[in-house]
Each structure stands twice: as structure tokens, then as C-alpha cells.
Amino acid sequence: MDDRVHKPDRGIVDEKEILVGFLDYDRGVVERKLRGLSEADARASVVPSGWSMLELAWHLASMERRWLRWGFLAEPLGDPYPDSDETGSWHVDASATTESVLAGLRTVGETTARIVAAHDLDERSSLGGRFSADDEHAPPTLRWVLVYVIQEYSRHLGHLDIARELIDGETGE
């Protein structure tokens, strides 16, 4: 089985397609990093800061949801930070499984793609969710939000690389 994840084609010129393509790629790497791990290994912490690969995957899904739905669209979310406990540390519900977290990540990706398709990249985030009229800066554009989310994935994909290598020696995208 070929489980490699592919970046968007370099011939693509549509900016939305490129941005969504890189987000799809990033989510695919998260999924690949968790595939083949036991539930115990996915929940195991192998780094001094104490997070697990499953917690980091849930953080990434929650972060993308938070930025696109609560941030850009200003949709009310019951808890915009379901990935953090009262101390601010990442956590995932005890009933969550690797498959349920990855299914959530895929659902977030589908939602992001629909949002991007329906809005202009230069459109500013709505007020009332993450952003208010009292903020010092103007609400960010959809483009800014997408680039922010991509950089957040990029930062954490390296963490997943290291954690997976420490668990079972697997390396690569």
C-alpha cells in the first residue's frame, strides 16, 4: 500500500487550490504519522513536555476549527479550546481513539475547503467570534488565517516526526 502523502502539484496557479492543497497535505502527514501505532503508543508521551501524538493531532484539528469557524466566520463554538485542560496543557478525551481523532481532522479539512470555496481570500474575518471591534488590529483576511494555520501545522509536523521516531524508529513524511 502506498501511504505517501503528496504536496500540491507545482503547476497549480490558483492560490486557493494551493493553500487548500498544502493544508490537505499537512493533515495527510498527521494521519500517516499516527497510522500503525497502537492506541497505547498514540497516547504515550515520549517528550519531556508531556504531550502525546494523539493529543497533538487533536490540538491541530481543534486549532484549524478554531481559526476557520470561530475566527474567520465568528461562529459560536461551545468551547473553542477543547484541546486544552484547565492548565492550558493539551489533552484528548479518554474515550477518543486514533480513528475518531483522525476522522475529526478529516471533517475539519472538509469544512475548511467549503469555507475557502465560499469566500474571497481578501475577505476579513467576521467580528464576534475570536475578533472584536475593540481589537488593536483589523481582523485578519482569510488568506492570513490560512497561512497562519499552515505555519501552525508546519511547526507541529516536526514534533510528530520526532515523536514517531522515538516510539518506533519510523521516519519520513
Please report whether residue 173 resides in a domain: no
Range of the domain at 34: 15-168
Please report whether residue 92 resides in a domain: yes
| 5 vs 150, higher pLDDT | 150
| 13-58: pLDDT as tens digits | 999 999 999 999 999 999 999 999 999 999 999 999 899 999 999 9
CATH number of the domain that residue 59 is part of = 1.20.120.450
Give the number of domains in the chain. 1
Please report whether residue 122 resides in a domain: yes
Q: According to the 3-state scheme, what is the secondary structure of the chain?
A: CCCCCCCCCCCCCCHHHHHHHHHHHHHHHHHHHHCCCCHHHHHCECCCCCCEHHHHHHHHHHHHHHHHHHHHCCCCCCCCCCCECCCCCECCCCCCCHHHHHHHHHHHHHHHHHHHHHCCCCCECCCCCCCCCCCCCCCCEHHHHHHHHHHHHHHHHHHHHHHHHHHHCCCCC
